[in-house]
Amino acid sequence: MTYTVKQIARLAGVSARTLRYYDEIGLLKPASLGENGYRYYDEDCLLRLQQILIFRELDMPLEQIKRITGRRDFDIVIALQGHKQELRKRIVQMERLIATVERTIRHLQGEEEMSEQEMFEGFSEEQQAEYEKEAMEMYDPETVKASNARWRAYSAAEKQRIFDEGNAVYKAFIDSMPQGPASPQAQSAVEGWRRHMDYFWTPAVEQLLFLAQGYVDEPRFRATFDKMHPALAEFIRDAVKVYVQGK
């Protein structure tokens, strides 16, 4: 059985424009082209599209998806098994974060006491390191490589201390929000944030605002900060903007 662009778009919940773009970049070629120039897709195309959409759901860039699915040794069953394991890990992580959010709501409503440490349950030091790695990938592979080596050299106790310091940095931002992004409290939080990056890498001043803007624009970064405070990402960006302008 073959499918037109319109039919496969309806099945997969994507736009016809997306399918045409995937064809243009060689990510998803149709099985055949009709004499009228129409694209026709078969079941293999459907399975490949499913893989693409799952990889996208896991935040993988299109170019990387193309490299993986285009390999001769690509095995769709093995790939699906890997997806299942990764999605299960995400379910567990999301459940922990939901529990933390629910407790935070009850705390803010005066129904339950909550310690500062409990406020950040569900955020692992491994996850924080992954976010830092994603930020560094905006720049160059050598930076990532050096940072990975630095991170592996830390002991478990050091990693936990770094994680705790990171939570304290973001709490300092939240505490300074009533005073505004240009306040001494907020600027002190920015300086603490910048120093905390030294555990992973040391960005130049001009890179700080680009990174802070990523907290607002990148879905995974934004979701993390939204769980701490719905206005935190924008506040960090605005405070960093003041900080950079003063340099």
Closest CA to 29 of 58, 52, 1, 12: 52
| Calpha distance 147→43 (Å, rounded) | 43
Helix (H) / strand (E) element for 164: namely helix 156-176
Report the pLDDT value the prediction gives residue 162, as an integer from 0 to 100. Answer: 86
Q: Cα dist. 217→11, 35, 145, 234 in Å?
A: 29, 43, 25, 10
* 23-78 tens-digit pLDDT: 999 999 999 988 888 899 999 999 999 989 988 887 778 888 888 888 887 888 88
Domain 123-245 CATH class label: mainly alpha
pLDDT for 114 = 61
Look at residue 243 in the predicted model and tell me its pLDDT: 94
Report the 3 state secondary structure along 64-117. Answer: HHHHHHCCCCCCHHHHHHHHHHHHHHHHHHHHHHHHHHHHHHHHHCCCCCCCHH
Q: Classify domain 3-69 by CATH number.
A: 1.10.1660.10
Query: What's the confidence (pLDDT) of residue 204?
Result: 79
* The pLDDT of residue 241: 93
Q: What is the pLDDT along the chain (247 residues), one digit of tens a residue?
A: 888 999 988 988 888 889 999 999 999 999 998 888 889 999 999 999 998 998 888 777 888 888 888 888 788 888 888 777 777 776 766 676 677 667 667 767 777 676 555 555 555 555 555 555 555 555 455 666 676 677 778 887 888 888 888 888 999 999 999 999 999 999 999 999 999 988 887 877 878 888 888 888 877 778 878 888 889 999 999 999 999 988 7
Q: Phi and psi of 4, rounded to 5°?
A: -85, 170
CA distances to 32, 51, 54, 65, 211 from 80, rounded to whole Å, are: 26, 8, 9, 14, 33
Which of 37, 34, 47 is CA-nearest to residue 8?
Answer: 47
